[in-house]
Structure 1
């Protein structure tokens, strides 16, 4: 059994890696999607890559979560259900809805993402089983506010994903300007939704693992959102200049 002290120090070290990743991704665009480019190794079919790199979170999480000797209460099962709900969509539903036939993701990017997701799944699984939240936690303001943020952000993420998916007609592979919904105000509302979702999860669990995952999500997606904005400006002269990157009216 892993001690809570060792687990805490390991997660703090993992947060340090997140800072390094944020700095690196601020200057080097991750080579997938609209930023795909040669030089990062062989390509894996895009939908398969998304499935593999997202599904490992559930494998890592439950391999840790279900082998604990600690009592798992109702609150902790709810935390696990929320994580599962998110990743069932990301691994089993979302990839196969995308119209990316013929597109690939570099194997190196997929493997780095799988490593990242495996580590995070382990930390969340190990940490949540040590919390021992009483059932009364379900009426705590932190849980109630966090779960509202979680599901509101999930709705924003899903709605924005739907807009992006429907930009392409069956058989099309190009890019166009997304319009409607939160795209009216920001370039990447899908990424904003995912960031807020994990901030909500960190709040409703009130855990170091939740906070760590939220910070890692920011480290990955804030530079990506900035890169998306630059890409649209470079490729679409008529792209709405008033759109912000992630925060309406601010940035």
Structure 2
């Protein structure tokens, strides 16, 4: 606890930020556990494989590309618009870095959707709204939380620039492994293949590992309780998601290497 006190700003006097700190961690951790138990968000091959597409309830579906844009674009817009909506938001270097990191992260995802990834299926609208709202609230809350602590004493341990380095490592590694995934199948091809290259020889979800690194980097730049709670919740979710991904590959491919872990080389 003493280390956390040295590393984090005191929680700001905001009911909204305090509530979001609890809600973000709890909802993401529950979502991760739900993935492991077979209750998947309705946008993935895991849900379809479990027979989700055959439910009798009529669902609104849109193309996967449009769905992914709806997931990431609101958070990107919120981060880009925040300096214009909140006077004095960019007065401090820390606030500038956090706001820029959030904007860059979601702008990268939007550009990947538009120009990198190939999509052939559809997504369920209610799952799109759930995920989009989660990312939008993250962008708004992490930036607003940073604004609230601008004039309070700095934490004893300044991890800002360590966070910048981790963020850059995370976003580079995440993009590289998304690039490898995008090159797995030829145009028009729909068959699933085992990914290769990069860290795929050690873990099946290195893109998730680097996404966690991105959020750790933002947390170390921000040093707020909210950013830490979201990072812990996201880590819990991606642990569950990567576990399910590895389990899916084991059932899909008889020659899947048993020594390839889910998320962390040699560990998990």
CA RMSD of aligned residues (A): 2.4
Q: Matched residues in 2 for 1:78 and 1:159: separation?
A: 23
Give the corresponding residue for 2:31: 21
Q: Matched residues in 1 for 2:78 and 2:92: separation?
A: 21
User: What's the CA shift for 1:225?
Assistant: 0.7
Whether contact under 8 Å (1:60, 1:119) holds in the other structure is no
Give the corresponding residue for 1:174: 191
Stretch deviating more after TM superposition (236-245 or 35-44) = 35-44
Give the corresponding residue for 1:114: 132
Whether contact under 8 Å (2:98, 2:222) holds in the other structure is yes
Which residue among 112, 122, 134 is the counterpart of 1:93? 112
SS at match of 1:66: helix
Within a 5 Å distance, the mapping from 1:137-152 to structure 2 comes to 141-152=158-169
Which residue among 82, 99, 112 is the counterpart of 2:101? 82
Give the corresponding residue for 1:205: 222
1:113-141 deviations in whole A, cap 9, x for unaligned? 1221222122123112123279x99xx75
User: What's the CA shift for 1:63?
Assistant: 5.3
1:11-33 deviations in whole A, cap 9, x for unaligned? 23313333333332331233323
Structure 1: gaps (5+ residues): none
Instruction: Name the TM-score, length of structure 1 as normaliser.
Output: 0.88
1:72-124 deviations in whole A, cap 9, x for unaligned? 32411222111111111112333442121x31111121111122122212212
Count of residues in correspondence between the two structures: 245
Give the corresponding residue for 1:125: 143
Instruction: Name the TM-score, length of structure 2 as normaliser.
Output: 0.82
SS at match of 2:85: coil
Higher relative contact order (Cα pairs below 8 Å, separated by 6+ residues): 2
